[in-house]
Amino acid sequence: MLRSLKEWVSSRLASIGGFSIDERQSSLASSYRQQQLEKVQERKKGWNPLLWTALFLVLIGANLASWSFFLYVSGYPEVPWNYRLLQRFEQLPKLPSFRPETAPRGTFQSTRELFSLLGGLETDDLAQYNRKLKRRFARSFSQEEGVLYLSDTITITEARLLTEADPFHPGLAVKGQSIEFPAGYVELVLTTSDDDVPSQQEITGIIDQELAIGESVDCAAVMHLHRGESGAWSVSCLPLVTGDFAIGDLNVEIAVNDSYQPEPLLWPLFR
């Protein structure tokens, strides 16, 4: 009975549309396969090997460029723009408060010895050496063992307060003539807190006094070397040991501050 009914329905459909049930099922399956094949072909049309290769190479180049940029910035923190960028992202080690026994290892040279060693450098070579000195400081001497220190006795010729136009502030800047080497001058940068800045009267009182810059006591790191047009030799130093620093009757409380400005044209402090 059911078979007869199926045959009757099939014959009616064949008379109407010209297809049997099996034929219509086969037609639908073929149409579905054709649609899927068209979709695959459309995907293949969107694939461009040259374009994807170029994009891949661009990504590799961008990655290499970013690494090169990072290595340059971190490798040369003495460059003003690099220093500010690293400081902004807190990638620079902070200068600690050193005691004589914790100060970085290094060598001690007098003004005369520094002139004998470095006074004959060409202008470009001396500038490069100064950049190296600033690089050591920018890294807080954390990656350097050969810190260059000054040991000398000077007669103070000038003194003034540090301002925002100086590499450091607040504090005191002192200039003196080397007793052993009169053609050489020494600048000392004594950084203090805002509450311990000496008065102008106290500063005036230290002119013409002698000051001994000790070795392990003060650890005055050389920050800048300058050879003037007249041939005068100038050594700028930053004592790393914090605490009392006596200049005659004046006691300066040296403290670490974060006011360093990396512009090289700010050196020397006395013109």
pLDDT per position as a tens digit, 72-90: 888 889 999 999 999 998 8
> Model-level pTM?
0.78
192 close to 173: Cβ distance less than 8 angstroms? no
Q: Is a pLDDT exceeding 60 seen at residue 44?
A: no
- Positive or negative, the Cα torsion across 96, 147, 245, 138? negative
Q: What are the backbone dihedrals phi and psi of residue 102, each rounded to the nearest 5 degrees, phi first? A: -110, 0
Give the HSE-up count for residue 232: Cα atoms under 13 Å, Cβ half-sphere. Answer: 15
Residue with tokens 């490069």, as numbered in its chain: 128
Q: What values do phi and psi take at 46, rounded to 5?
A: -75, -10
Among 71-85, 106-120, 185-199, name the one with the lowest average pLDDT. 71-85
**What's the pLDDT at 38?**
63
Confidence of residue 237 (pLDDT cuts 50, 70, 90): very high
Asked if the model's pLDDT at residue 13 lies above 90, the reply is no
The identity of residue 137, as a single letter, is F
Radius of gyration of the chain (CA): 39
| Cα 50 versus chain centre, distance | 39
Instruction: Identify residue 22 by its one-letter amino acid code.
Output: D
Residues in a beta bridge with 238: 221
Would the pLDDT of 2 be above 50?
no
- 8 Å CB contact between 60 and 52: no
Determine whether 159 is exposed, middle or buried from the number of CB atoms within 10 Å of its CB (0-12, 13-18, 19+): buried
Query: Confidence band (pLDDT; 50, 70, 90) for 231?
Result: confident
